[in-house]
Amino acid sequence: MATTAITPIDTQIAGLAQTFQTAIKATIKAESAPITRTQALKDTVDVRRGVYTDIKNNFDGLQSALQALISTQGTYGLNLVSKSTVTPGTTGAAVLTATNTESAAVADYDITDIQLAKAQSQATVLAYSPDLALNKSGTFWLGGTGLANLQTKTSTLPDVYSAFVPSTSVTAGATSTVSTGQRELGAGDYALETRDLSGVRQFRLVNADGSAVSIRSQNGTSYTNAWQNMTSGGYDTGRGLNLTLNANGAAASTALTYTAAGTSITINATDTLRTITTAINAASQPEGRDFKASIVANKLVLTGAQTGENHSLLFTLKKDGIVNDFLGFGASLQVAQNATFKVNGMDVSRAGNTNLTDVMDGATISLASDATGKSARLSIATTADKAAGLMSAMVNSFNTALSHLKSKLASTPTTVGGKTTYTRGPLSGEQVLTGLRQDMLGRMNSNYTNSGSFKNLAEIGLGFDKDMKLTLDSAKFSEALKNNRTNVTALLDSGLGAINSLVSNYAGSSGSLSNTLKSIDVQRTNYDNRILKYNEAIAKRKEALYNQYQGYQSQIAEYGYTAQWFGILSGTNVNTSG
Give tens-digit pLDDT for 352-373. 999 999 999 999 999 999 999 9
List of long-range contacts for 459-468, beta carbons under 8 Å, 24+ apart: 459/491, 460/488, 460/491, 460/492, 461/391, 462/391, 462/395, 468/441
Residues near 197 by beta carbon (within 8 Å), at least 6 away in sequence: 227
What pLDDT does residue 573 have?
56
Q: Is 330 helix (H, G, I), strand (E, B) or coil?
A: strand
- Domain boundary assignment for the chain: 50-78+385-508, 81-117+338-383, 121-143+262-334, 149-259
For the chain, helix (H) and strand (E) counts, in that order, are: 9, 30
User: Is the pLDDT score of 310 beyond 50?
Assistant: yes
Q: Which of 186, 184, 188 is nearest to 153 (CA)?
A: 188
What pLDDT does residue 413 have?
80
Q: Which of 358, 452, 444 is nearest to 401 (CA)?
A: 444
Residues 470 and 507 sit within 8 Å (Cβ to Cβ)? no
Give tens-digit pLDDT for 114-172. 999 999 999 999 999 999 999 999 999 999 999 999 999 999 888 899 999 999 999 99
User: Is the pLDDT score of 575 beyond 80?
Assistant: no
Residues 245 and 203 sit within 8 Å (Cβ to Cβ)? yes
Residues near 107 by beta carbon (within 8 Å), at least 6 away in sequence: 360, 379, 380
Q: Which residues pair with 192 in a beta bridge?
A: 205, 254
Residues 239 and 169 sit within 8 Å (Cβ to Cβ)? no
Radius of gyration of the CA atoms of the chain, in A: 42
Q: Tell me the average pLDDT across 449-468.
A: 94
Helix orientation angle between 485-504 and 431-444, rounded to the nearest 10 degrees: 180
Q: In what order do the strands lie in the sheet with 315-319?
A: 263-267, 138-142, 315-319, 322-323
User: Is the pLDDT score of 48 beyond 60?
Assistant: yes
Q: Tell me the average pLDDT across 480-484.
A: 94
Q: How far apart are CA 549 and CA 300, in angstroms?
A: 96
Phi and psi dihedrals of 263, rounded to 5?
Answer: -120, 135
What pLDDT does residue 578 have?
45
pTM attached to this predicted model: 0.73
CA–CA distances in Å: residue 119 to residues 36, 284, 352:
80, 19, 9
User: Is the pLDDT score of 249 beyond 80?
Assistant: yes
Within 10 A of 356 (CB to CB), how many other CB atoms are there?
21
Residues 313 and 123 sit within 8 Å (Cβ to Cβ)? no
β 411-416/376-383 pair status: unpaired
Q: Which amino acid is at 527?
A: Y
What pLDDT does residue 238 have?
96
Return the DSSP state at 439: H
Peptide bond into 158 cis (omega under 30): yes
Of 276 and 535, more confident: 276
| pLDDT > 70 fraction of the chain, expressed in percent and rounded | 96
